[in-house]
Amino acid sequence: MFIAVEGIDGSGKSTTIRELKRYLESKGHAVYLTSEPTALATGKIVRNFLSETNGDTPLIHEMLALAFAADRINHLREEIWPALRKKQTVITDRYFFSSIAYQSLNVSYEWVKGINRFATLPDVLVFIDVKVDKAVERLTKFRNSTEIYEKRELLQQIDRNYREVIKEFEDKLKVICLDGNLEIGEIYGDIEKKFSQLL
């Protein structure tokens, strides 16, 4: 089984993935945990470009979108497909839905979709549904506050983009929305409730 987990910054994605892994392992799954940008050479290129986006140099967003797409091909070839062939349950922290939600802030949605057309659809898309204010509140607690307040508008737009993506893909794969507003101790129960029918 191939699972992609998505959500805006501050949605509690890493925490939720830890709980999801624990749940799936309790059901006997051999879980292969991975993420994008990857730890591969292509992921390093992405991270270098990411730190340059502040400068807003010409075509930086197009270059970044292509770098994410290239990293994704590498991810599939080097990690995801081999793990699936070994019958492991793959959980990826972010996948091409992130490219659609984030890169289409600056470049056209259809173009981003086009350069990602090789990305095989996961069986399950887990979307962490969190109130933008709640995510901002968490981010301010743990990171530099001014930076986060500047990002609120962006997070709102990314959140809207994710909802568009879900509408577009919900008849092509299984979408599970987890409640990102819950306390950490309540996440496991929400996973159990929503995954038990699926397994």
Binding site for ligand ADP (CB under 6 A): 7, 9-15, 138, 142, 182-184, 187
- Shortest Cβ contact with ligand ADP: which residue? 12
| DSSP SS3 for 122 | coil
For the bound state, the minimum distance from the C-beta of residue 98 to ligand TYD, rounded and expressed in Å, comes to 4
Binding site partner of 11, from ligand ADP, ligand TYD, none, Cβ cut-off 5-8 A by kind: ligand ADP
Binding site partner of 94, from ligand TYD, ligand ADP, none, Cβ cut-off 5-8 A by kind: ligand TYD
By beta-carbon proximity to ligand TYD, the closer residue of 23 and 96 is 96
List Cβ neighbours of 18 (8 Å cut-off, separation of 6 or more).
Answer: none
Q: Which structure tokens are listed for 69?
A: 């797409």
By beta-carbon proximity to ligand ADP, the closer residue of 110 and 183 is 183
Are 13 and 7 in contact, with CB atoms under 8 Å apart? yes
For the bound state, the minimum distance from the C-beta of residue 183 to ligand ADP, rounded and expressed in Å, comes to 5
Does 36 help bind ligand TYD (rule: CB under 6 A)?
A: yes
Binding site partner of 98, from ligand ADP, ligand TYD, none, Cβ cut-off 5-8 A by kind: ligand TYD
**CA atoms within a 13 Å half-sphere pointing along the CA-CB vector of 176:** 20
Number of alpha helices (DSSP H) and beta strands (DSSP E) in the chain: 9, 5
Are 2 and 124 in contact, with CB atoms under 8 Å apart? yes
Strand arrangement, sheet containing 174-179: 31-35, 89-93, 2-6, 124-129, 174-179
Enter the DSSP assignment of 87: T
For the bound state, the minimum distance from the C-beta of residue 26 to ligand TYD, rounded and expressed in Å, comes to 25
Site string for ligand TYD, 89-128 (x = CB under 6 A): -----x---xx--xx-------------------------
**Integer Cα distance of 11 and 181 in angstroms:** 8
Are 129 and 3 in contact, with CB atoms under 8 Å apart? no
By beta-carbon proximity to ligand ADP, the closer residue of 66 and 182 is 182
For the bound state, the minimum distance from the C-beta of residue 106 to ligand ADP, rounded and expressed in Å, comes to 21
